[in-house]
C-alpha cells in the first residue's frame, strides 16, 4: 500500500511548487516582461488595485496596533470546504476537524528545522499574515517548500491577467526580515512588488522579497496528508539531484587534474 501511494504521489509531483521548480501551468496565460525595461510611473494615483490597502506605514508606534486590528478582523479568503470532504475522509484525524480554520488552506515545510506549518489565506493586504515557523520562529524563505496555495513566482514575471471585478490580486511577497506577507498591487496587467514599507518591521522592499502566486487550495483540502508526503518526496528528490550534480562536478574536476598530470606538455 505504501509503495502504491509513493508511486501515485510521484506521478502527481508536478503539482508541488518550489522556487526552483516553477510549473509551466501559468506560462501560456502570462507574458514574461523584463522588469528593467519598464519605467516606473511617477504617480501612484492611477493604480487600479482590486482592494484598497491601508496606507503604507513608516516605522512608528501606531503601526503595531493597527496591524493587530487587521489580523483580529481578518476574513478567510477561500470558500468553505464541502462538509463531506471532512465527514467522509478516510483519516480519523481529518474527520475530527470541524472548521476550515482547523484544516487551513495549505502548508509549508521549514528548511531550517523541517517543521510543518499550516497556511491560512485571508482577505486584505496581508493574505497569510506572518509566515514564521511555529518551531524555530524563522521566516519562510525561498528554500522552504510549500503547497499550491503558495506557488513561488519568478522575479522576472510581472505581467498577469487581471482578476475578476471584486476579486483580490492573487499574488503576494513576503518580508525577508519579519516574514509578514503583503498582497501585491496591480496596475492594469502589471504586478507591482516595489516601494513597500513593511507594516510589521518598517523594512523597505526594492522588489527583492520572495514572490508567490496564491494558487488553489483544493488538493490540500481534499487530503492534507498526501500534500505533506508530496512535499517531502519533492524535497528528497531535489536534494538527491543537488548531490548528484556536486559529485559529477567533483569527478570532472578530478579527471581534468589527472589529465593535466599525464600530459604536462
Domains in the chain: boundaries = 74-250
% of the chain beyond a pLDDT of 70: 67
DSSP category for residue 169: P
Give the chain's mean pLDDT: 75
Per this entry, what is the length of the chain?
265
Model confidence at 36: pLDDT above 70? no
Element (H, E) at 233: helix 224-262
Helices and strands, counts by H and E, the chain: 7, 11
Whole-number pLDDT of residue 245: 79
Alpha-carbon distances, residue 44 vs 57, 159, 194, 238 (angstroms): 15, 18, 12, 41
Give φ, ψ of 204 to 5 degrees. -95, 145
Which triple of cell numbers denotes residue 107? 502548508
Whole-number pLDDT of residue 167: 92
Contact 219, 78 (CB under 8 A): no
Which triple of cell numbers denotes residue 31? 507574458
Which triple of cell numbers denotes residue 147? 503547497
Lowest mean pLDDT among 2-11, 173-182, 192-201, 229-238: 2-11
Q: Which residue has the higher pLDDT, 243 or 42?
A: 243
Lowest mean pLDDT among 61-65, 95-99, 138-142, 163-167: 61-65
Whole-number pLDDT of residue 119: 94
Averaged pLDDT for residues 108-125: 95
Contact 55, 75 (CB under 8 A): no
Q: Which residue has the higher pLDDT, 46 or 176?
A: 176
- pLDDT tens, 46-86? 333 333 333 344 333 345 668 888 899 999 999 887 777 66
Contact 203, 176 (CB under 8 A): yes
Confidence label for 170 from pLDDT (cuts 50, 70 and 90): very high
Report the SS3 class of residue 130. Answer: strand
Contact 57, 199 (CB under 8 A): yes
d(CA 145, CA 135): 16
Contact 145, 234 (CB under 8 A): yes
Sign of CA dihedral 62, 53, 205, 128: positive
Enumerate residues 6+ apart whose C-beta is below 8 A from 135. Answer: 110, 113, 115
Averaged pLDDT for residues 22-51: 37
Contact 205, 194 (CB under 8 A): yes
Report the SS3 class of residue 218. Answer: helix
Whole-number pLDDT of residue 247: 78
> DSSP letters of 31-74?
----GGGPPPPS-STT---SS-PPP---S-THHHHHHHHHHHT-
Which triple of cell numbers denotes residue 166? 471584486
- pLDDT tens, 70-81? 899 999 999 887
Phi-psi region of 235 (alpha: psi -120 to 50; beta: other; left: phi over 0): alpha
Model confidence at 111: pLDDT above 80? yes
Ranges 13-22, 132-141, 162-171, 232-241, most confident: 132-141
Amino acid at each position: 500500500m505504501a509503495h502504491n501511494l509513493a508511486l501515485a504521489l510521484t506521478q502527481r509531483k508536478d503539482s508541488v511548487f518550489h522556487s526552483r521548480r516553477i510549473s509551466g501551468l501559468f506560462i501560456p496565460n502570462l507574458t514574461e516582461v523584463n522588469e528593467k525595461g519598464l519605467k516606473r510611473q511617477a504617480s501612484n494615483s492611477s493604480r487600479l488595485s482590486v482592494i484598497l490597502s491601508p496606507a503604507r506605514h513608516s516605522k512608528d508606534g501606531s503601526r503595531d496596533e493597527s496591524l493587530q486590528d487587521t489580523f483580529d478582523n481578518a476574513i478567510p479568503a477561500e470558500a468553505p470546504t464541502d462538509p463531506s470532504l471532512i465527514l467522509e475522509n478516510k483519516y480519523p484525524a481529518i474527520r475530527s476537524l470541524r472548521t476550515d480554520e482547523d484544516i487551513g488552506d495549505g502548508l509549508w515545510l521549514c528548511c531550517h528545522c523541517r517543521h510543518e506549518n499550516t497556511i491560512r489565506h485571508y482577505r486584505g493586504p496581508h493574505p497569510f499574515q506572518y509566515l514564521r515557523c511555529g518551531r524555530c520562529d524563522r521566516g519562510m524563505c525561498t528554500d522552504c517548500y510549500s503547497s499550491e496555495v503558495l506557488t513561488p513566482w519568478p522575479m522576472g514575471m510581472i505581467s498577469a491577467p487581471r482578476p475578476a471585478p471584486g476579486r483580490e490580486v492573487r499574488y503576494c511577497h513576503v518580508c525577508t526580515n519579519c516574514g509578514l506577507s503583503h498582497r501585491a498591487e496591480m496596475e492594469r496587467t502589471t504586478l507591482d512588488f516595489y516601494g513597500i514599507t513593511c507594516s510589521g518591521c518598517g523594512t523597505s522592499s526594492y522588489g527583492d522579497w520572495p514572490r508567490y502566486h496564491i494558487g488553489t487550495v483544493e488538493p490540500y483540502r481534499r487530503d492534507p496528508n498526501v500534500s505533506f508526503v508530496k512535499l517531502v518526496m519533492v524535497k528528497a528528490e531535489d536534494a538527491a539531484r543537488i548531490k548528484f550534480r556536486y559529485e559529477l562536478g567533483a569527478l570532472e574536476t578530478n579527471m581534468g587534474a589527472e589529465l593535466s598530470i599525464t600530459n604536462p606538455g
